[in-house]
């Protein structure tokens, strides 16, 4: 099999992220050598035509992944739900997530943490699934990276959903993570999801149309070694298969 490369893009407005630039877009793929050029180009195009604004800083990083370092995981099952209002959507999210591993308090806190953000974070919050306390440090959050789908195109032409399903599948495959709550920071995208027990539950109307604040919460068991979970989420190359 030919070698695989990780291709990652991050884009901001007002300078690089590390100098205080406002995050516009980020995306990544794992592709064969001969696809690296065209994928890098399409990621750059995306950063330049984004509903959050035009990027003035785009960073594209490419690196080789030795094929013996790749972990293969299964894709989550997808279930579609209905909700007519934000209140209904959040009630449904609570109903779907709560169970033996996640308390109602933890979910309610997570929703309040996301609703309380005054700007979007780059990564996800970690919340204790029992106590509902936030356990990650700093403002950046945990940034899941180095993942793609084995047959990306077959996951459909909705970029938001395809990328979210890949990310959520990696997140749920981590030892000690028992659920996820997400809605987008793209002003025109109000569909969100919760993931737990092997299922990706798509829920409409998770946030106000026009809001550029979104986020993610990963629910973790109290006794996890958060360092190794974060290492897996940020660094281990994962390909999702169906």
How many CB atoms sit inside 10 A of residue 37's CB?
12
Helical (H) or strand (E) element with 92 = helix 86-97
Structure tokens at 124: 């996800």
From the list 132, 176, 192, 237, which residue makes contact with ligand WAQ (rule: CB under 6 A)? 192
Q: Is 149 in the site for ligand WAQ (CB under 6 A)?
A: no
124 makes contact with ligand WAQ (CB under 6 A) = yes
Both tokens assigned to 77: 């099952």
- Which of Mg ion, ligand WAQ, none does 96 bind, CB closer than 5 to 8 A by kind? none
Nearest to 192 by CA among 215, 159, 167, 172: 215
Those residues with Cβ within 8 angstroms of residue 84's Cβ, 6 or more apart along the chain or in another chain: 205
Interaction between residue 163 and Mg ion (CB under 5 A): no
Crossing angle, helix 104-115 and helix 86-97, to 10 degrees?
140
Choices 6-14, 93-101, 122-130, 221-229 (CB under 6 A): range interacting with ligand WAQ: 122-130
Binding-site member from 21, 186, 199, 202 for Mg ion (CB under 5 A): 186
Q: Rounded to the nearest whole angstrom, what is the least distance from the CB of residue 128 to ligand WAQ in the complex?
A: 18
User: Which residues of the shown chain bind ligand WAQ in the complex (CB under 6 A)?
Assistant: 26, 120-124, 142-144, 158, 160-161, 164, 167, 182, 184-186, 189, 191-193, 202, 214-216
């Amino acid at each position: 099999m030919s070698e695989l490369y990780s291709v990652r893009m991050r884009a901001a407005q007002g300078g690089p992220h590390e100098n205080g630039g406002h995050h516009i877009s980020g995306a990544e793929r794992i592709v064969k050598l001969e696809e690296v050029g065209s994928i890098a180009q399409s990621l750059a195009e995306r950063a330049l035509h984004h509903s959050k604004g035009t990027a003035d800083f785009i960073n594209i990083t490419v690196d080789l992944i030795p094929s013996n370092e790749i972990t293969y995981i299964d894709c989550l099952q997808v279930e579609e739900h209905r909700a007519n209002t934000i209140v209904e959507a959040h009630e449904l999210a609570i109903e779907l997530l709560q169970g033996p591993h996640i308390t109602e308090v933890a979910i309610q806190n997570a929703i309040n943490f996301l609703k309380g953000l005054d700007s979007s974070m780059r990564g996800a919050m970690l919340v204790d699934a029992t106590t509902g306390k936030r356990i990650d440090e700093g403002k950046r959050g945990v940034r899941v990276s180095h993942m793609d789908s084995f047959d990306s195109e077959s996951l459909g032409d909705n970029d938001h959903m395809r990328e979210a399903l890949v990310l959520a599948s990696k997140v749920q495959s981590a030892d000690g993570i028992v659920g996820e709550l997400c809605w987008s920071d793209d002003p025109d995208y109000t569909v969100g999801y919760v993931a737990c027990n092997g299922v990706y539950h798509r829920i409409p109307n998770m946030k106000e149309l026009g809001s550029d604040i979104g986020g993610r919460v990963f629910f973790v068991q109290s006794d996890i070694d958060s360092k190794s979970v974060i290492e897996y989420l940020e660094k281990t190359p994962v390909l999702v298969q169906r």
